[in-house]
Homo-oligomer: A and B are copies of this chain.
Amino acid sequence: MDDIEIEAARQTRLVVEGADDVVSEESLRGKIRRSLESARPLRIKMGIDPTSPDIHLGHMVVYRMIRRFQDLGHTAVLIIGDYTARIGDPTGRNSERPPLDAERVNENAERYCEQIFKVVDRERVEIRRQSEWFDGFDLQKTVNTLSRFSVAQLLAHETFRKRLDSGDRLSVHELLYPILQAYDSVEIAADVEFGGSDQRFNCLCGRDLQRQAGMEPQVVITMPLLAGTDGLKMSKSKGNHIAVLSTAAEKVGRVMSLPDAQLPDFITYASSWTGSVRESRLASLSAGSGNPRDLKLALALDIASIYHPREEAEAGVASFVSQFTNHELPSDIPEWFLPAGSLAIDRLMKEAGLAPSLAEARRLIVQGGVSVDGERVSDWSSVVRPGLVKVGKRRYLRVVEALR
């Protein structure tokens, strides 16, 4: 192997680390090798969906890998999905989503970018919008593009199949979602597309369309979906997520509330730890050596540091330690399942027996005697999230998400 071969193999190893699936590693190595030979950076596709601008650590798994590509000298091409936003990604959804208007799309895209730029290097990003090419898409061009796909192929997509089989409405325009996303790959001449494992179908459609356009198909790298604090798929609607826009203290509290079984995934997909540091921590975790609580604190500090200045992250950890470690927590904290819908903290306290009445609950809150995950509650109408509720000096309640 010559030097270029060795470097290509090294880069490949780095960017597929932890991947669920790569189609295919061999063609990725070939692309990287030719990129090195010709000194032409690869174009790494990165879509953002401006319908849901509040993202969480689950979304960041992919963006962290894109940052790796950037650090190796490649170009991230960020596509603002302003057209697909008007359709709404049907993946994993049981009903249509209302399309967004253009102004809202712009606001959301900006908000989204601010969050991913905590990980993605904004200096090495080419920003594109789907409207650049789809604004000029007349019916003839749409028809031509749709003709590249068969109905059977699209209905093989689990999301579509499930909706059809269960009798939930699947509108014809939703079939366009993966096709338009695929066309993006043609338009920006993507070499690589990353996606969560639930985006595999959409990413592979891009390969098909590129091949039919006479291009070398993009490499598709899918990453596992990060589970949330309850072990289920991380999702804002489930309340089990760690939001990028949460405070450092909130991130620390949420990481500390992770079940131990989740730690390896968070170390692999959410921390900044790499190489031997990571290996040794994963090893000590699986061997049961060392104190898992110390490891968790270190992980919480590391993750918070990715998104916040180091001192904020450290303050978050310190505050957590002073509240939860130094005061002995009782071992028999009762659990309380959140009902469907939203519930205010005062009502929770009354219903869960932490206060005899709404009035008394509010009095306790106003006096500063109520906290959730170490943060004092000041507004009695604030909505309860899963976490550790503390009332006065000694009364605790662990609020958990009900399984639905």
* A:70-88 near B, CB below 8 Å: 83, 86-87
Chain B residue numbers with a CB within 8 Å of A142 are: 139, 142, 173
A143 within 8 A of B: yes
For the complex, give the distance between the alpha carbons of A175 and B154 in Å: 13
0/1 string, A143-181, CB within 8 A of B gives 1: 110111111101100001000100101111111100100
- Tell me which of B138, B143, B152, B160 contacts A173 (CB under 8 A): B143
- What is the minimal beta-carbon distance from A342 to any residue of chain B, in angstroms? 30
Chain B residue numbers with a CB within 8 Å of A167 are: 152
A137 within 8 A of B: yes
A134 within 8 A of B: yes
- What is the minimal beta-carbon distance from A388 to any residue of chain B, in angstroms? 45
A37 within 8 A of B: no
- In the complex, which range does the number of interface residues on chain A fall in? 20 to 34
A135 within 8 A of B: yes
B170/A151 in contact, CB under 8 A: yes
For the complex, give the distance between the alpha carbons of A155 and B165 in Å: 12
- What is the minimal beta-carbon distance from A176 to any residue of chain B, in angstroms? 6
Which of A96, A134, A151 is most buried by chain B, counting CB atoms within 10 A of its CB?
A: A151
- Tell me which of B135, B144, B149, B172 contacts A146 (CB under 8 A): B172
Chain B residue numbers with a CB within 8 Å of A164 are: 151-152, 155
B171/A151 in contact, CB under 8 A: yes
* A:244-299 near B, CB below 8 Å: none
- A86-B140, A140-B86, A164-B152 are contacts. A147–B172 as well, Cβ < 8 Å? yes
Identity of the chain B residue whose Cβ is nearest the Cβ of A176 in the assembled complex: B143
A138/B140 in contact, CB under 8 A: no
- Tell me which of B150, B154, B171, B176 contacts A149 (CB under 8 A): B171
- A135-B138, A137-B139, A140-B86 are contacts. A173–B150 as well, Cβ < 8 Å? no
For the complex, give the distance between the alpha carbons of A89 and B175 in Å: 20
- What is the minimal beta-carbon distance from A240 to any residue of chain B, in angstroms? 32
A152/B170 in contact, CB under 8 A: yes
B170/A172 in contact, CB under 8 A: no
Chain B residue numbers with a CB within 8 Å of A149 are: 171-172
0/1 string, A202-220, CB within 8 A of B gives 1: 0000000000000000000
The residues of A with any CB-CB pair to B shorter than 8 Å are 83, 86-87, 96, 134-135, 137-140, 142-144, 146-152, 154-155, 160, 164, 167, 169-176, 179
26 contacts between A and B (CB under 8 A): A86-B143, A87-B143, A134-B139, A135-B139, A137-B138, A137-B139, A138-B138, A139-B142, A142-B173, A143-B173, A143-B176, A146-B171, A146-B172, A146-B173, A146-B176, A147-B171, A147-B174, A150-B169, A150-B170, A150-B172, A151-B160, A151-B174, A151-B175, A152-B167, A154-B172, A155-B164
